[in-house]
Structure 1
Amino acid sequence: MKEVIKAYFERFVDKWMEYNNSLPKIVWNEDVAEFIYSGTEDEYGYISWKPMEKSMKFNFDEIEGQYNVQLHNSVKEYFNSYWFLELTGWISSYNVNLHPVIPGIEPDYFISLVKDYVESKEFTFKYIPIGYESNGMLLVVNNNTGEIFVEDFELNEYKKIANSLESLILHLKFKDE
């Protein structure tokens, strides 16, 4: 997982530099640990950032113990690989945004999302939310197989878009690719 994420960010930063001649930028957030930022906030409230390999690992024991469940290993690997503020791209006809791993905010925010999602699903852990697509539908990981689906909440339908989280990230394209 770590190598796939590293390769994605190498491509992402290269594309950003090609079009903007800078590192990726995002709106500055005071809750984010400052080490991920590079430079200073601009006049529009944006600041450059760069993905950083993690040395500190999240412990998912609290949520796993509370619900007596094991999260799929790919979810744990994803959250323990890099700090980053954005991971987006196209796969098939879907413009997807994976959940960022934000220093100073994670894993608490992700765990609260999972708890809310699981409670809405009557405490079943079949799927774990990992992001969303541009039309507002959730991206979820099948907690047994690791496959990635787009969830249509209103129809209670799931469309498979990747065999794994690694495969999804590996095959993400940027708008002009």
Structure 2
Amino acid sequence: MQIYFQMRKEVAAEGLDFLFKTPVSSDDNLIIYEGKADEDEYISWKPVEMAIPQDFTRLEDEFDINLHKSIVDYFNSYWFADLDGFFKEHYITLEPVLPSTGTSSFLESLKGYKKNHGDSLEKIPIGIEGNGLLVVIENNSGIIQLEDFERGTFEYVAENVQELIGNLRLKR
């Protein structure tokens, strides 16, 4: 992720500073915020490496699952507002990890996914693709796929979340 955020900084320095702007959340003093909000209520942010990992025991107990290590690692590496880019022909946006919400957004996503998939969490939602497909991780293998819920199909995307993030591009 460090390489991804460095690339994001370099592209932002080329004049695309919106890459590090996000709407102000209701929590004023997030450690990722820098400076003051602008007239459109956007504020600059920076990725912050986590010092203390989040505990997933309660979440795993609630859903009666053991999350794949890559999922836990993803949520325990950095605090950040945006992680997105082009991967092959797809535009992918992954789940943000914000200090104010921790895993609560992820928890809600899991609840909805489980409800819509016959109480199964064989795959874990981690983001969305530009055409509305879900980005999911196979919970037993860590393989990344795109899910077309309406068609009931899955398309292989990457071997793991590290490969996906490591190959994201911010320009076509």
TM over 0.5: yes
Which of the numbers 24, 27, 43 marks the counterpart of 1:47?
Answer: 43
Q: Which runs of 5+ in 1 are unaligned?
A: none
The reply to whether residue 131 of structure 1 matches residue 127 of structure 2 is: yes
Structure-1 separation of matches of 2:61 and 2:169 = 37
TM-score for both structures, normalised by structure 1: 0.92
Q: Which runs of at least 4 in structure 1 moved beyond 4 Å after TM superposition?
A: none
CA drift at 1:66: 2.2
Partner of 1:7: 3
Structure-2 separation of matches of 1:133 and 1:108 = 21
Which of the numbers 40, 46, 69 marks the counterpart of 2:65?
Answer: 69
CA RMSD after TM alignment: 1.5
The reply to whether residue 121 of structure 1 matches residue 113 of structure 2 is: no
Partner of 1:93: 89
The reply to whether residue 159 of structure 1 matches residue 159 of structure 2 is: no
In the TM superposition, what whole-angstrom CA distance separates every residue of 1:3-27 from its partner, at most 9, and x where no partner exists? xx01100111111111246871111
Structure-2 separation of matches of 1:55 and 1:18 = 30
CA drift at 1:63: 2.2
**Percent identity between the two aligned chains:** 35
Cα gap change, 1:126/1:103 in structure 2, threshold over 3 Å: closer, same or farther? same
CA drift at 1:125: 1.6
Q: Which amino acid aligns with 2:108?
A: S
Partner of 2:171: 175
CA drift at 1:68: 2.1
Conserved in 2, the CA contact under 8 Å of 1:126 and 1:143?
Answer: yes
In the TM superposition, what whole-angstrom CA distance separates every residue of 1:136-159 from its partner, at most 9, and x where no partner exists? 111000001100001000001000
In the TM superposition, what whole-angstrom CA distance separates every residue of 1:26-61 from its partner, at most 9, and x where no partner exists? 111123652210010011211100000001211111
Conserved in 2, the CA contact under 8 Å of 1:33 and 1:104?
Answer: no
Structure-2 separation of matches of 1:48 and 1:62 = 32
Q: Which runs of 5+ in 2 are unaligned?
A: none
Partner of 2:27: 31
Paired residue total:
172
Structure-2 separation of matches of 1:17 and 1:90 = 19
TM-score for both structures, normalised by structure 2: 0.94
In the TM superposition, what whole-angstrom CA distance separates every residue of 1:77-128 from its partner, at most 9, and x where no partner exists? 0000000000001111100000000111121111121122112111212100
Structure-2 separation of matches of 1:31 and 1:155 = 39
Conserved in 1, the CA contact under 8 Å of 2:124 and 2:137?
Answer: yes
Conserved in 2, the CA contact under 8 Å of 1:114 and 1:129?
Answer: yes
Structure-2 separation of matches of 1:85 and 1:30 = 14
